[in-house]
Structure 1
Amino acid sequence: MSETEKPRQKLRTGFTTGTCATAAARAALISIITKKKINSIKVSLPKEKEITINVASCKFSDTTSRCSVIKDGGDDPDVTHGAEIFVDLEITDNIGQIEIDGGDGVGRVTKPGLGLEIGSAAINPTPKKMIIQNLTEVGKEVLRKNGIRVVISVPKGKEIAPKTDNPRLGIINGISILGTTGIVIPYSTASFAASIRQSLDVTIAMGDNTVVLTTGGRSEDFAKKEIKLPDHCFVQMGDFSGYTIQQCAKKSIKKAHVAGFIGKLTKIAMGVKQTHVKGSKVDMDFLAKMAQKCNAGQEVIQEIKKANTARHAQEIIIKNKIDGFFTAICKEAHEQMRAHSENKVEIDVILFDFDGCALGRYP
């Protein structure tokens, strides 16, 4: 390994906008319950992890509270780093109900394909679950007699939004409240490449020559239900599909199962070796051509060309029952990955929907 390949130091993790909103909401509720200003707060993350976060501001009355948390992206080059995320929390008469909405600086959804209702605040499902879980943990007594309403706002959200993909995705007037794990893993080519090589070396050291390459944690969880192999055979390749399969070939891995969702697998099928969202975009014309090959009608083809995201295209394909489309994407991804491996690695591709069902596979 050359000196340039070694990460100089361990990169600092951060926390997501979803975790900030959760921390502010939890602090807001506790301040009402205890009648005390909260300076730091423990937050429950997905997968039973906990993190302690500083609370930047906290004001409260008997039934309302406003708390804020400063977003910390760690060593990730994140445009939301340093943004102050506020939660206005109110005790309501809706017994047992937790309502969550976006205020100033949180974007509104105007296009399909994001897994969120058009017109709703751009708050993803995992942050919503985190907020509900955390408020339920500390507010059981409150929820027996009352409800809780949470409004998330980001004063600089409108200013930050043009630096994100939100305008292209049809999310207007602010940023999104995001996160699937609650933690931001720094996006570093050198450190990620090193971790991929290390993971493959562990697989080989354990006497195995088959791996499951996934684009992230969620696709890995879904793949584990489909493919029964030891944990050390599962390798998260993230955005580095080309590099990972080349390393598999170099290290004499015999077979690689490749598992992911429509967006990343489409990029792989297009021949993109590095699929980070900022580095490449899904080409809707490519997906339209794939649909045409599967005998989709002109109306469907035009709809796909205008699709907002790969997920939106997926919804169009499912709605119009275009047979063979997802298998065709898997076949193209298979051929590209085979080529990147110089035909040295046997490859099997699975495309999951967002609930973990296999939509397509090849061969």
Structure 2
Amino acid sequence: MFHICVMQDVGQNGEPEASKISPLASEKIIPIVCRMTRKPTGELRRGWTTGACATAATKAALQALWGGETPKTVTIELPRGECPKFDVAHSAYGKGWAEVGIIKDAGDDPDVTHGALIISRVCMGDDGIEFRAGEGVGTVTKAGLPLAIGEAAINPKPREMMRNIVLEQCSAFNTSPNVQIEISIPNGAEIAKKTWNGRLGIIGGLSVLGTTGIVRPFSCAAWIASIHRGIDVARAEGVVHVAGCTGATSEKVVQELYGLPEFAMLDMGDFAGGMLKYLRKNPIANVTIGGGIGKMAKLAQGAVDLHSARSQVDFAHLNQWCPVDVSQANTTLEAYQLAGPELAQAIADHARQAVERQLGGAQIAIDTVVIDRAGTVLARSADE
């Protein structure tokens, strides 16, 4: 599931740290944008996905269309049995159609679609239940996603939830299930510019997402799922070389170094393990891993989650790769300044070897690129 833009912290190597993203669960179109950089203290409040909001809006719109009155609140049952209540924030109707809008509440998750108005417009159709992309909802233009090219970017689970609502309301109002559902998100096209949708071939707006209907604050599942979808799209496009980088600077360097297309750039961030595990089962011929020297040192030492809160460079271990003593260095960059190119090359080599171990014998050619804050390449390592 997904839309994503990332508000970033700065890591010890000077490159942006990838911050956490909302858990639009393990769906397959794209993750979400951050509206804060720090995890709040105390118990976190969960929220509701765009798919849940679209389903609630669809139920209320059908009641307005067939019952002649728009409810003030609407309750739906989510896939795991929860029954949240939603307030109706917008309603309109005309001859043969009705629409309702629900304001998305993502709880305490850093989800850029928090506060967005999710609108469902319904009208009678001719052939079963049809889904359409309205204003601010994207259209699929590349293979590799769970929807056909040309389809509205409304993911399979939200479609299933809305179909169930149509059947439920058809039974209540004794009418046939021939319904067109158009989902729109005002300003969605602008929000989507801050997401990875364009990279995955979803053009014109956001995706309607949500496997469970629930946004669990500060889950990393959505980010990792979006990396997986990036790999799927690259494979479907016949790409033979992809790259995963730790931040924007290293991504720019690596993309220019190899002349890679945008959709070959996987938004790895801190989640090296999530990317490599998926590549092990879904290999691509050539994979480049790029990053600042601090994060690449952590990868070289075996870390697969490179966030500063979850892994640290072991300078005693790093010292074994140096011609001089760097055990008292405060940062990897300081250690590099003391030890020089030999350390950078050791980090690139050991990082490549660590990646090869993670890939578990998959037939993938690996190379690594280590950069400094300014984007200067300090070292590279490739399979012989």
Distance apart, 1:44 and its partner CA: 1.8
Indicate whether 1:107 and 2:62 are aligned. no
Contact 1:67 1:87 in 2 (8 A): yes
| Distance in 2 between residues matched to 1:184 and 1:92, nearest whole Å | 32
The alignment's TM-score, normalised by the length of structure 1, stands at: 0.54
- Pick one of 176, 201, 209 that aligns with 1:178: 209
Partner secondary structure for residue 104 of structure 1: coil
- Paired with 1:65 and 1:130, the residues of 2 have a C-alpha distance of 19
Is 1:145 the equivalent of 2:176?
Answer: yes
Q: Which amino acid aligns with 2:96?
A: T
| Alignment of structure 1 residues 167-316 onto 2, 5 Å | 167-187=198-218, 216=221, 262=228, 307=263
Count of aligned residue pairs for this structure pair:
249
* Larger Rg over CA atoms: 2
Tell me which amino acid in the other structure corresponds to 1:27: A
- SS at 2:302 equivalent: helix
* Structure 2, unaligned runs of 5 or more: 1-37, 233-242, 268-278, 288-298, 305-313, 315-356, 364-384
Out of 103, 111, 114, the position equivalent to 1:78 is: 111
Pairwise CA distance, 1:34: 2.4
Deviation at 1:146, TM superposition (A): 5.0
Matched residue type, 1:26 = K
Question: Displacement of 1:279 after TM fit?
Answer: 11
In the alignment, which residue of structure 1 is the partner of 2:97?
Answer: 64
> For structure 1, which runs of at least 5 residues remain unmatched after alignment?
193-214, 218-237, 240-258, 290-301, 312-323, 343-347, 352-358
Deviations 1:148-180 (A, max 9, x none): 111111121122111222222222221111112
Shift in CA distance, 136/280, structure 1 to aligned 2, threshold 3 Å = farther
- 1:40 and 2:3 correspond: no
CA distance in 1, matches of 2:182, 2:221: 30
Does 2:302 correspond to 1:339? yes
Q: CA shift at 1:326, angstroms?
A: 2.6
1: CA distance, partners of 2:77 / 2:359: 32
Which amino acid in 2 is paired with 1:23? A
C-alpha distance in structure 1 between counterparts of 2:109 and 2:248, whole Å: 13
Mapped contact 1:32–1:62 kept (Cα < 8 A): no
Contact preservation (8 Å) 1:27, 1:41: yes
Q: CA deviation at 1:8?
A: 2.4
Matched, 1:156 2:111: no
Aligned to 1:326: 281
Q: 1:165 aligns with which of 184, 193, 196?
A: 196
Q: Is the 8 A contact 2:142 2:200 kept in 1?
A: yes
Cα distance in 1, alignment partners of residues 140 and 113 from structure 2: 19
Alignment of 1:89 onto 2:122: yes
Closer/same/farther in 2, CA of residues 87 and 48 from structure 1, 3 Å limit: same
How far does residue 337 in structure 1 lie from its aligned partner after superposition? 10
Counterpart code for 1:326: K
Helix, strand or coil for the counterpart of 2:192?
Answer: helix
The Cα shift of 1:9 comes to 1.3
SS in 1 for 2:77: strand
Quickly say closer, same or farther: Cα 1:279–1:121, change in 2 above 3 A.
farther
Quick one: structure 1 residues 327 and 308, their matched pair in 2 at CA, closer, same or farther if it must change by over 3 Å? closer
Looking at structure 2, the residues matched to 24 and 182 of structure 1 have their Cα atoms a distance apart, in angstroms, of: 13
Structure-1 separation of matches of 2:183 and 2:144:
23
Aligned to 2:336: none
1:48 Cα deviation from its structure 2 partner: 2.3
Report the Cα distance in structure 2 between the residues aligned to 1:58 and 1:114, rounded to whole angstroms: 32
Contact 1:263 1:310 in 2 (8 A): no
